[in-house]
Structure 1
Amino acid sequence: MTEIKEKTYLVIVQCHIVQERCSGFHCEKALHDRTGSFAVYPETINFRSLSLTCGGCCGRALHRKLTNLIRQAQKRDGISKEDIVVHLSSCITKDNYHAPTCPHLDYLKTLIGKLGLDLVEDTWISKTAEKRRQEGLYRNNQCMKETPHG
């Protein structure tokens, strides 16, 4: 099995709803700069990347999209699924400015696992969002903390 840092085809999966207002710039920049969850990839590795959305709640479309990718990558370019890694973007995996953690996160991970693809959670980590998590305003796998009405 190919180690994560040696993968040559990266797929970034963004929340379909969030993608309506977010271009994915920060995730792409983290990939380009090799920061966040992409820091593991050496500068010397030349890889391809693809950005997809989950397809909308509940995320089942992601299975079809990734199945198509596996088939086309092998058929057209000889890229095996062992060379592919899926990064679930931070808008899916963390409570943040856009929304709480995706309620279908475990289902998405199951779908990706059934295809035999390696998975990395997170892409770009916002310093502001991390600060808010430390302050208890954002939580992993939960909605925002209630604030008292004054």
Structure 2
Amino acid sequence: MKRNINRNIKGNKYKNLINQLSESAVTFSFVTREDIGISDNSIRIIERLTDYLVNSYPTNAWLTNEVIDSPIIGHIYFYKLNSETKNILLEVSNSLFEWGDDAISDLPEDIAFYDKEEKPLLYVNGHENYAVIEALSLKDYLKIVLL
């Protein structure tokens, strides 16, 4: 089941969403963009997550965006999602759409969560104010929709 989210999820609802996602997701990713710049806060977050890094590479395309007709300007980072990394995500943000334009929100862009088969469960385009949830079951879908 797929559902678009066009309203920001904030505060306790954001915390509940991250906690629910951590039940099914095993990894998460976000992007930094050289053309926008990387905030000091984003650099600190990346440093805090270093021990949990699974993969990282330069790119111009990710789940919610593609930069065409340009040299590679983005970098995507994939991390293990566990209790430590979940707590970092809860600490550094209080809103789903804060994971948007790094120059505006002071966080990396476009957080996404993946299951053990690397299928996306939720992906965000923060500066466009939308997210997509791909629930595994009706139960998961209803839990998220009823936030």
The alignment's TM-score, normalised by the length of structure 2, stands at 0.30
Q: Which has the higher helix share?
A: 1
Structure with the bigger RCO (C-alpha within 8 Å, sep 6+) is 2
Q: Which has the higher strand share?
A: 2
The alignment's TM-score, normalised by the length of structure 1, stands at 0.29
